[in-house]
Amino acid sequence: MGKMSSKKIYLSPPHLSGYELNFITDALKSNWVAPLGPNVDGFENELADYLGIRNAAALSSGTAAIHLALILSGVKEGDTVFCSTLTFVASANPILYEKARPVFIDSDRESWNMCPQALERALTEAYHIGRLPKAVIVVNLYGQMAKMEEITYLCHKFRVPLIEDAAESLGSTYNMRPGGTFGSFGVFSFNGNKIITTSGGGMLTSNSTSAINKARFLATQSKDQALHYQHSEVGFNYRMSNLSAGVGRAQLLVLNERVKAKRAVFNKYYNELAEVPGIEFMPELAGTMSNRWLTALTVNEKQAGFSNLTLLKSLAKENIEARPVWKPLHLQPLFEGADYYPHSKDLSVSEELFNSGICLPSGTNMSDEDQQRVIDCIKSHVQVKAV
């Protein structure tokens, strides 16, 4: 029964902590409304402390953070950059900003993230033709950590800087170490749908103080140290406003609670649906803790008797926002002609996940009753088999 009168359930809406107004009011009262100020400094320091990393630069978006990470890694026109294929387009768009060439790397089934074997093949081939990439962008999809031990080993071996796109994985850990701290650079996003938000913003992190100082310089129009306005290289307007940073500080206070809540949402789905034939939940890699930003699962149509697309349609009819898994970037018209390294000769895991995957509403402010509505809608597809 499609009750369009029922309240819309969103995929991952913002969830305020209640402290935002304090930070914003302070900023307004002290006239710190520019893209610099105490909240920007505070948010940078507090996020760096949370991650246990030396430096953080607050930026206008996660995309801006990826862009600056590429520039700081020395990416220039015509260079290649490797990138996870199963991700949001923002992971790779900045490669095009610099007129570099993306090469996409497939996922594996255990992590849904960059497959180390495919990465090794790609790096080995690139090495032999003398065209090693200037950077590797690894994504932690839906909060799940990639196989960092294998991936950092390969990047060290071939001496290629690693950029960790942790936009979806703030609060996740790998061997107890926070996600986003494995590469030369970590990238975070505080877009409205992320686990915490600034209403829009991002952060670039690194243990290299000089790199983060350079990032702040590039992000403020590359203004030289001079009394007059002097510029020697191209710059950007990429800094975060002191108001947004105030929202971020208030949100960071409840990050650990949000991780717990996301994981509780996942567990409820899992307990109710794991037994359904043909449904398989996104795994959690051994030794890691995912923030479970979005609960994702795959539907094997033959075993289930329905497909992921059928589910998407009937959830939409019930006013429930669900989404397919990201369309792999090597299949996007935007990146037509880009090289792609699948998991193995006859297996493209990202395509498999795209064709069968679905993300369920995962808001930390979703009520039990609302989540039950989602579960009931999915269960209504399950055929009761006669004994």
- The residues that touch ligand PLP, with contacts defined as CB under 6 A, are 61-63, 87-88, 90-91, 139, 165, 167-168, 189, 191, 202
Shortest distance, CB of residue 306 to ligand PLP, whole angstroms?
28
DSSP 138: E
Q: What is the DSSP pairing of strand 55-59 with strand 80-84?
A: unpaired
Q: From the candidates 29, 194, 302, 317, give the one annotated as an active-site residue.
A: 194
Cα(318)–Cα(381) distance, integer angstroms: 13
Shortest distance, CB of residue 378 to ligand PLP, whole angstroms?
24
Shortest distance, CB of residue 66 to ligand PLP, whole angstroms?
6
> Looking at beta carbons only, is 64 or 265 nearer to ligand PLP?
64
Q: Give exposure, 253-291, as e/b (b: 16+ Cβ within 10 Å).
A: bbbeebbebbbebbebbeebbeebebbbbbebbeebbbb
> Looking at beta carbons only, is 118 or 167 nearer to ligand PLP?
167
Shortest distance, CB of residue 106 to ligand PLP, whole angstroms?
16
> Looking at beta carbons only, is 203 or 254 nearer to ligand PLP?
203
> Looking at beta carbons only, is 27 or 83 nearer to ligand PLP?
83
Q: Is 194 annotated as catalytic? A: yes
Nearest Cα residue to 73 out of 137, 1, 2, 146: 137
Residue 331: how many CB atoms within 10 A of its CB?
15
> Looking at beta carbons only, is 103 or 170 nearer to ligand PLP?
170
Shortest distance, CB of residue 58 to ligand PLP, whole angstroms?
12
Dump the DSSP string for 267-336.
Answer: HHHHHHHTTSTTEEEPP--TTEE---SSEEEEE-HHHHSS-HHHHHHHHHHTTB--EE----GGGSGGGT
Contacts of 367 (CB under 8 A, 6+ apart): none
Residue 146: how many CB atoms within 10 A of its CB?
31
Which sequence positions are flagged as catalytic? 194
